[in-house]
Amino acid sequence: MSRDYRSLRDPNAEYTARDLSGEAMGVTASRGPRDVEITDVQTTMVDGNFPWTLVRVYTDAGVAGTGEAYWGAGVPELIDRMTPFLVGENPLDIDRLFEHLVQRLSGEGSVEGVTVTAISGVELALHDLAGKLLGVPAYQLLGGKYRDEVRVYCDCHTEQGADPAACADEAERVVEELGYDALKFDLDVPSGLETDRANRHLRPGEIRHKASVVEAVTERVRDRADVAFDCHWSYSASAAKQLAAAIEEYDVWWLEDPVPPENLQVQAAVTGDTLTPIAAGENRYRLSEHRRLLEAGAVDIVAPDVPKVGGMRETRKIADLAHQHYVPLALHNVASPVGTMASAHVAAAIPNALAVEYHSYELDWWAALVEEPVIEDGRITIPERPGLGLTLDRDAVEAHMVAGETLFDDA
Ligand SMILES: [Mg+2]
């Protein structure tokens, strides 16, 4: 607990902010719980399998919050640009600060794109910070939790590309050795059968080959794991319909992004044409774009990315709207442990969460960036510690920073 609860009942009481080990953080003051101001915002970019932009928001209470923004050119610069709009503000007003940043950065493009990504990084840090200031886990700020642990699906790859047997072997390894019961494979990996990738058409032999990959993987781990397949917006409408129909018999978890993202009518037609569940949403921004997806009936499963889409509360709002359409969420995620844990808090706090993605199983130092365990046996147990419940290992972060970066200040 980071704060003496007496200060919440008596705004004039003294309180002592404490770190996760219970050590006093040297702050004893006569102040109410809302008497706190943002003093600075800093970023450090880590060279992971994606460039992870860690964001830290500092306060005059001696407590800082850590978040993460999805990768994107210019994200740290955009966060620098928004810092003057945050300094002096109360960090507990997360929703108002989100709208404040959207408004102040409207000229930078805060409807969609990297500006939303940059705001997301700050929004995650504010949830960590508010949780620490109030002494509650971040999920509590989102309305409490539906589940104590969140399922994680592992994004899988093979050195043999689209070879069906190699994919099946990797599925077996990830289930038996790494402990996951939920997987995803790419289905747009070149097979050597392509003659013209630009036309987005799938020839009959290509359809048969992709179906053979799906068959090999799903048959190998049947009853032990759910398996999704990702197409990364690659195919024409007719090819997507043929592919979705060809794999219906294999009970895939979902087929992701079979067609390009711009035309929602086509997306809805593909989704409505097959029993294979169709997922999309990772390159959509904010509630507004997910509202269009949902109202068009374009998806069976919506897949927002928390540190990209607008943050934790924005994803909560998407989940609420999706719930009205009886649509579940599978949270897209390519983040460090910070963004992954933020996604897990959201997934705990919404009824319609299927799982959170993990996209770094080839990186042996991913878990070392924080002191606490994150993914264990294919699950994230939601911590009861304040905020996101993580402590950065500053030495590990420093060892893996992007060249030229400097490590942000300790709180
Ligand atoms: Mg995807």
CA of 85 to the centre of ligand 1 (A): 33
Query: Which residues are registered as beta bridge partners of 256?
Result: 230, 279
Q: What is the pLDDT of residue 23?
A: 59
User: pLDDT tens digits for 186-198?
Assistant: 999 999 999 898 9
In this structure, is residue 405 part of a structural domain? no
CATH number of the domain at 193, please. 3.20.20.120
Q: What is the DSSP string of 294-336?
A: HHTT--SEE--BHHHHT-HHHHHHHHHHHHHTT--EEEB----
CA of 131 to the centre of ligand 1 (A): 31
Res 202 pLDDT > 60: yes
CA of 285 to the centre of ligand 1 (A): 14
Last residue of a domain, one of 68, 103, 137: 137
CA of 230 to the centre of ligand 1 (A): 5
CA of 115 to the centre of ligand 1 (A): 21
Q: What is the DSSP string of 200-245?
A: ----HHHHHHHHHHHHHHHHHTTTT-EEEEE-TT-S-HHHHHHHHH
User: pLDDT tens digits for 131-148?
Assistant: 999 999 999 999 999 999
Last residue of a domain, one of 79, 111, 137: 137
Q: What is the pLDDT of residue 24?
A: 61
Last residue of a domain, one of 137, 162, 183: 137
Q: What is the pLDDT of residue 32?
A: 64
Which is higher by pLDDT, 185 or 28? 185
| Whether residue 112 is found in the same domain as residue 213 | no
| Whether residue 387 is found in the same domain as residue 245 | yes
In this structure, is residue 67 part of a structural domain? yes
In this structure, is residue 406 part of a structural domain? no
Res 296 pLDDT > 90: yes
CA of 282 to the centre of ligand 1 (A): 7
| Whether residue 186 is found in the same domain as residue 102 | no
| Whether residue 175 is found in the same domain as residue 128 | no
Neighbours of ion ligand 1 (CB under 5 A): 230, 256
Q: Please give the residue range of the domain that contains residue 268.
A: 149-399
User: pLDDT tens digits for 81-93?
Assistant: 999 999 999 999 9
Q: What is the pLDDT of residue 14?
A: 53
CA of 332 to the centre of ligand 1 (A): 7
Q: What is the pLDDT of residue 6?
A: 35
Q: What is the pLDDT of residue 62?
A: 94
In this structure, is residue 168 part of a structural domain? yes
Q: What is the pLDDT of residue 20?
A: 46
| Whether residue 247 is found in the same domain as residue 394 | yes
> How many C-beta neighbours within 10 Å does residue 6 have?
10
Q: What is the pLDDT of residue 343?
A: 99
User: pLDDT tens digits for 247-275?
Assistant: 999 999 999 999 999 999 999 999 999 99
Q: Percentage of the chain with pLDDT > 90? A: 89
Res 16 pLDDT > 70: no
| Whether residue 37 is found in the same domain as residue 168 | no
| Whether residue 122 is found in the same domain as residue 213 | no
With 0-12 CB in 10 A as exposed, 13-18 as middle and 19+ as buried, what is 125?
buried
User: pLDDT tens digits for 60-85?
Assistant: 999 999 999 999 899 999 999 999 99
CA of 67 to the centre of ligand 1 (A): 22
CA of 257 to the centre of ligand 1 (A): 7
What is the C-alpha to C-alpha distance for residues 132 and 281, in angstroms, rounded to an integer? 31
Res 367 pLDDT > 80: yes
Query: What confidence category does residue 409 fall into, taking pLDDT thresholds of 50, 70 and 90?
Result: very high
Q: What is the pLDDT of residue 197?
A: 85
Q: What is the pLDDT of residue 1?
A: 36
Average pLDDT of the segment spanning 95-99? 97
| Whether residue 154 is found in the same domain as residue 243 | yes
Average pLDDT of the segment spanning 280-297? 97
In this structure, is residue 205 part of a structural domain? yes
Could you give the number of structural domains in the chain? 2
Please answer whether residues 278 and 255 qualify as being in contact, where contact means their C-beta atoms are separated by less than 8 angstroms: yes
pTM comes to 0.92
CA of 136 to the centre of ligand 1 (A): 32
Average pLDDT, rounded, for the chain: 93
Phi-psi category of 408—alpha, beta or left, where left has phi over 0 and alpha has psi -120 to 50?
beta
| Whether residue 113 is found in the same domain as residue 240 | no
Please answer whether residues 226 and 181 qualify as being in contact, where contact means their C-beta atoms are separated by less than 8 angstroms: yes
CATH number of the domain at 115, please. 3.30.390.10
In this structure, is residue 411 part of a structural domain? no
| Whether residue 133 is found in the same domain as residue 164 | no
Q: What is the pLDDT of residue 17?
A: 54
In this structure, is residue 102 part of a structural domain? yes
Query: What confidence category does residue 411 fall into, taking pLDDT thresholds of 50, 70 and 90?
Result: confident
Query: What confidence category does residue 183 fall into, taking pLDDT thresholds of 50, 70 and 90?
Result: very high
Q: What is the pLDDT of residue 11?
A: 44
| Whether residue 40 is found in the same domain as residue 169 | no
Helix%, strand%, coil% for the chain, nearest 5: 40, 20, 40
Type of residue at 397:
V
Res 181 pLDDT > 60: yes
Q: Percentage of the chain with pLDDT > 70? A: 92
CA of 324 to the centre of ligand 1 (A): 24
Res 12 pLDDT > 80: no
Judging by DSSP bridges, how do beta strands 301-302 and 278-280 pair with one another? parallel
In this structure, is residue 142 part of a structural domain? no
| Whether residue 178 is found in the same domain as residue 59 | no
Res 128 pLDDT > 50: yes
CA of 279 to the centre of ligand 1 (A): 9
